[in-house]
Structure 1
Amino acid sequence: MSEALRRLLDGLGHDDDWLRPDRWRERAQMQERIERLALALALGADADAAVLAARADAAQARMDAADADAAAALRARIVAGEGAQLLREWRSASPADAHGDGYDPLDALLAAVLGLVEPRGEIAAPAPPTVFYQPTPARHLLDLLARLDLGEHDVLIDLGSGLGHLPLLAAACTPARCIGIEHEAAYVDSARAGAQALRLQRAEFLHADALVADLSAGTVFYLYTPFTGDLLAQVLERVRELSLQRPIRVASLGPCTRTLAAQPWLCLLQPAWSPDRIALFAAGAA
C-alpha cells in the first residue's frame, strides 16, 4: 500500500494539470483513492506511514483548495447570468444514465456552487406521514430541467424542497420563477441564504405546510416522496384541482411515483416509469 500511495503522490507532484477547474471529477476520484490507500497504510506497520500520511494530507488540501476555486468561479458565472450555459456544461459532464439513487462528484460540486450547507438550527424528526429529508441526486435534477425546458412564464414549485437544490438550480439556469415549500424552518433559512448569495431573485422559499401553502401560481410541481399516505393524497388533490384551470406538469422521484402513475388525471410523458428515475406527467386541458 505504501508504494502505491507513494507513486500516486509522486505523480501528482510532477503535474499540476489536475488543479484545473474543469478537472473536478478526476480530483474527486483521486481523493477517494488517496483516502483508501492512506487508510490501509494507517492500519499497517509501514515505517514511512507518517511521512506518506502528511504528503497525502497536503495533496488533499491542494485538491480542496482547487475545488473551492472552481466553485467560486462557477458561482460568479451564475451571478453574471451564465446559468443556461452552465446547465449545458453540467449536463455534458453528467453520467449519461440518470437512473439510480446514489450520489457522485457532481453532487459535491453543485452543493458548493449553490452554497448548500447543513442548517444551524435543530432538525426535528419527521412526523408521519412525512419522511426523512434526502436530496435529489444532481444528475436527476439536470435531467429533469433539460426535459422540462422551463420558460419565463413557468412557475416551478418543489413540494418538500429541503435545502433548496431544485429551486436554486432552476432559478440559476432557467428563466422560470421557482418556489420551494418546506415545513422545516432551518432548511428554509439555509435555502434563502443560498438564494441571496447567488442573487437569485426568482428563487423563493416558504416555510409552510403543503396542505395550506399557496400553490395557485404553479405550472410545474416536483415531489421526491416528501410525504406518504393520506397527506400525499390530499396534496395531489390540491394539484388536481389546479389542473382543472390550466395545463400543469408534475414530476416525481421515488416511491411516490407509483401513486402518481395510478392517478387517472395524470398522463405519463415518457414510455414508462421506474422508481429510480424522475417521472414526468401532464394534466389539464391544452
Structure 2
Amino acid sequence: MDESLRESAERIRSRIEHETHDPAEFRASLLSVPPTARDAWVDEVFGLHELPEDGPDLPRGCVPYIPCSVDVLLRMVEQAGVCHSDVFVDIGSGLGRAAAFVHLLTGAGAMGVEIQSKLVGAARALAARLLLSRVACVQGDAAELTGLITRGSVFFLYCPFSGERLAKVLAALESIARTRTIRVCCVDLTLPPCPWLALEPPRSPDVAIYRSTLVEKAPRARD
C-alpha cells in the first residue's frame, strides 16, 4: 500500500476512534481507493495485519475462517439495501471484519455469531479498539443461537457451513421471518429450496439476496 493510502486509512481510523465518524465519509474514502487495494486499506483502518489460525473449537465440516472481500461486501450492502435502521447479523463472523465494515459503511447495528473463542476475542477487541458501541459478537454455534437473534433484519452467510447445520440455521431464520420481513444475503452459497424465501433478481454472480415472504406489508393508509 502506498503512503497516501496509508495516511488516508490512518485519518479514517482516527475519526472512528474519536467518535467523529460519518458513514458517508467512510464510503467516499473507501471508493477513492483503487479496488485492488481496498481490502488492505480496510485492514489498515481496522489494525488487522495477520489472520489467526483456526482453533480446536471449529466443528468438523465447517469452513475455516476466510474473510469476505470488501468489494463483495459493498455489492451485498447495495443489493440488500442495508441502512441505518437495520441490524446486520454475520453468521460465522470470524474476526468481526464484515460486521464492523457494514456498520461503518451504513450506520446499521451489527452482530457477529462465531463459534471459535479465539476469533470471538479478536472481534470483541476490534469493536473495543474502534469504540464501536453498536457492533457486538456472541460466541456459540449458529445452529443453536440464530433463532435467538430476533432483532436481526439482514442475515449474512458467507460459505459458513452446509448440510444439517445450515438447515437448522434456515429453520431458525424462518421463525424470525414469521414476525417480520428479513433479508438473507449469501455469498458463494446456494440455499436449498425454501418456500418462505424469494430470490431477488441476481445482479452479480457471487451475491444472492433472498427476501422473506411470510409477513405481508401493511396496506398504505388512504389520503
Pairwise CA distance, 1:172: 1.5
- Counterpart secondary structure, 1:218: coil
User: 1:228 is matched with which residue?
Assistant: 162
* Deviation readout 1:205-231 (Å, 9 max, x if unpaired): 111111222221111100001111111
Displacement of 1:117 in angstroms is 4.4
Determine the C-alpha separation between the residues in 1 that align with 2:204 and 2:166.
19
1:226-270 CA-to-partner distances (Å, cap 9, x unmatched) read 11111111111110111111100000011x3x225x322211122
| 1:227 alignment partner AA | F
CA deviation after TM superposition for structure 1 residue 272, in Å:
6.3
In the alignment, is the contact (CA less than 8 A) between 1:77 and 1:83 conserved in 2? Answer: no
- Ranked by relative contact order (alpha carbons within 8 Å, sequence separation 6 or more), the top structure is 2
| 1:155 and 1:179 in contact (8 A); partners too | yes
Answering whether residue 24 of structure 2 is matched by residue 84 of structure 1, we say yes
Separation of aligned partners in 2, 1:187 and 1:80: 27
1:266 and 2:197 correspond:
yes
Q: CA deviation at 1:129?
A: 2.7
Q: Structure 1-normalised TM-score?
A: 0.67
Q: Relative to structure 1, is the Cα distance of residues 272 and 263 closer, same or farther in structure 2, using a 3 angstrom cutoff?
A: farther
User: Which one has a larger percent helix, Structure 1 or Structure 2?
Assistant: 1
8 Å Cα contact 1:268/1:281 also seen in 2: yes
Pairwise mapping of residues 175-190 of structure 1 onto structure 2 (< 5 A)?
175-190=107-122
Aligned partners of 1:144 and 1:76: how far apart in 2?
26
Does the 8 A contact of 1:87 with 1:142 survive in 2?
A: no
Among residues 96, 99, 115, which one is paired with 2:47 in the alignment? 115
- Equivalent residues, number: 211
Larger Rg: 1
Contact in 1 for aligned 2:26/2:104 (Cα 8 Å): no
* Alignment pair present for 1:157 and 2:89: yes
* CA RMSD in angstroms, aligned pairs only: 2.3
Structure-2 separation of matches of 1:89 and 1:133: 27
**Shift in CA distance, 177/81, structure 1 to aligned 2, threshold 3 Å:** same
Q: What aligned pairs does 1:122-161 form with structure 2 within 5 A after superposition?
A: 123-124=55-56, 126-161=58-93
In 2, Cα distance between equivalents of 1:187 and 1:210: 14
Matches of 2:197 and 2:28 in 1, distance apart? 29
- Mind listing any 5+ residue stretches in structure 2 that lack a counterpart? 218-223
Correspondence for 2:207: 278
Identity of aligned residues (%): 29
